[in-house]
Amino acid sequence: MDLGSLTLLVEIIDSGNLSQAARKLKMSRANVSYHLSQLEKSVGVQLVRRTTRRVEPTEVGMRLYEHGRSIVNELLAARETINTLGQGLQGRVGLSVPSGYGQMVMSPWLIEFKRLYPGIVLDVMFENRVDDLVRDGVDIAIRVMPEPPPQLVARDLGPVRYLACASRGWLEAHGRPLTLEQLRTAPLITSGVVGRQLRLRAYLEGVREEITLEPTLISEHFPFLRDGILAGLGVGLVPDYVVQDAVDSGEVQTLFDEYRLSIFGTGMYLLYMPNRHQTRAVRTCIDFILGKAMPGHSPPETASAT
């Protein structure tokens, strides 16, 4: 067994299938399969179970993977040390952020980060996908969800508060809904849930109510939803950061303040792979985001940008 064989096994298990591992290793799928078979022959046991779509490590394969991952991470760290010796902080950070929170809250943070660390290539994807969050090209993902995926490291960025709200003009014209049931017939503005009905969960003194809703204006682009709410098109069901300034000015009024509302989950999480090597650039970005989202977290030293 050599380092190349261990690296091959690590890439196969990290990728989840032979085809993706082949692309990352710049090899043919047949070549990857051949070298995997040779590795299994050399150790005398099966290391992965193959299906039509995925490969899953056996118990022995997982133990060997853990050793291989540690070795690969140490090599990557050593290479980074050599490459950045005497230089400012450099590298690439792939960041996947929700379309609304990313644009309306995180954009100023990321611009500040880029000014502090001009040598870092910051590749930001605005998206709301919940499958395969930390994939090729993505080092860090930020998501709103009920619970973080168990296979990822999750750093809690705090709760997300949802508001039921409407413009002052809409409320004057149509009246203020007094019960949650009235939301069934109100024109609703919110983000859609692909493949299933939208369910609003409302909590009051430990009691949960749940109603199924049919929005009339749906988008994953929260600035657009904000425009619809301000234009008086109906009742918005959105996170507070979407309309907080308009609520403070009185242009938008909140409804059902006695309830705690939830649609897509009320937790905001920073997610990353547990075993993947983190460069100094990625670690610095994680600390920076935590420092912005959670004021008690100490941000990285800006001196390392020089």
Provide the whole-model pTM: 0.68
Q: What is the pLDDT of residue 298?
A: 52
How is domain 3-83 classified at the architecture level of CATH? Orthogonal Bundle (1.10)
Class of domain 91-159+267-305: alpha beta
Tens digit of each residue's pLDDT (9 = 90 or more) over 146-204: 888 888 899 999 888 999 999 999 999 999 999 999 999 999 999 876 556 788 899 99
Domain pair 91-159+267-305 / 162-262, same fold: yes
Does the pLDDT of residue 222 top 50, yes or no? yes
DSSP per-residue letters across the chain = --HHHHHHHHHHHHHSSHHHHHHHHT--HHHHHHHHHHHHHHHTS--EEE-SS-EEE-HHHHHHHHHHHHHHHHHHHHHHHHHTTTS-S-EEEEEEE-HHHIIIIIHHHHHHHHHH-TTEEEEEEE----SS-S-TT-SEEEEEESS--TTSEEEEEEE--EEEEEEHHHHHHH----SGGGGGTS-EEE---TTS-EEEEEEETTEEEEEEE--SEE-S-HHHHHHHHHTT-SEEEEEHHHHHHHHHHTSEEEE-TTSEEESS-SEEEEEE-SSS---HHHHHHHHHHHHHHSTTSPPPPGGGG-
Q: What is the pLDDT of residue 194?
A: 54
- CATH number (3.40.190.290, 3.40.50.10490, 3.40.50.2300, 3.40.1010.10) of 162-262 reads 3.40.190.290
Tens digit of each residue's pLDDT (9 = 90 or more) over 45-93: 888 887 767 888 888 888 887 777 777 767 766 776 666 665 667 888 9
Query: Domain coordinates of the chain in residue numbers?
Result: 3-83, 91-159+267-305, 162-262
The pLDDT confidence band at residue 300, using thresholds 50, 70 and 90, is very low
